[in-house]
Amino acid sequence: VLSGCGVYDGTEIHEASAILVHLSRGGAEVQMYAPDVPQMHVIDHSKGQPAEAESRNVLVESARIARGKIASLAKLTTADHDAVIFPGGFGAAKNLSTFAVDGKDCKVNREVERVLKDFHKAGKPIGLCCISPVLAAKVLSGAEVTVGHEEEEGGKWPYAGTAGAIKELGGKHCVKEAVFSLTPFYEAHVDTKNKVVTTPAFMCETELHNIFDGIGAMVKNVLKLTGK
């Protein structure tokens, strides 16, 4: 499920690409979706500032990542899929929810909430990375997720405050390391009860290959939970 195209106002493109690579390697068939709604705003990524008097559609922008093969999120049903995965990027906090503005008092897009609840009720796995675990924390009370560490540690974890927000949303935050000291890959947290799998991704300032490997751990565990 995508939220636009670009880290500051949509889907984090490297995360989406990594998820697709690992799903392909795992032999999964993929269908991409996005809500057919306006973006909260448009960011000029070369300046990191809002582009005034410009508006874009989340579905249209997400189609850039999907190479045009995308459908409205309203068409996503549990009957047609074994699992659902949400990449990160600020779009998850701006377009899929209002978390970027409202924090613990945020609202989640109606279709996003429906999808999360439907997959949870059906006992089908849900994967999330980077900032998107806030969606599960808000919608699935008591779900265990990770966004990495709970302290900034000199800028290594610049979004560490999200961990506290997850607790305020009703979720349980589990601290995960960025990189193992001996094995160079990210950790993924598996909430076996709720079948929710999360990994920090770009919540940490680290090398791209570590993020890629962490997303791989998340995808692998999601596929494992499908039982196929």
CB half-sphere exposure, 227, CA atoms < 13 A:
6
Q: Are 136 and 206 in contact (CB under 8 A)?
A: no
**Catalytic residue check, 130:** yes
d(CA 32, CA 50): 27
| Residue 119 DSSP symbol | H
CA 52, distance to chain mean position in Å, is 27
- In angstroms, the CA 41 to CA 56 distance is 8
For 95, the 3-state DSSP assignment is: coil
User: Which residue is associated with the tokens 């998107």?
Assistant: 132
Cα(63)–Cα(72) distance, integer angstroms: 10
Q: Exactly one of 5, 129, 130, 204 is catalytic; which is it?
A: 130
Residues 6+ apart with CB under 8 A from 79: none
| 76: DSSP letter | -
Distance CA 19, CA 13 (A): 10
What are the catalytic residues?
130
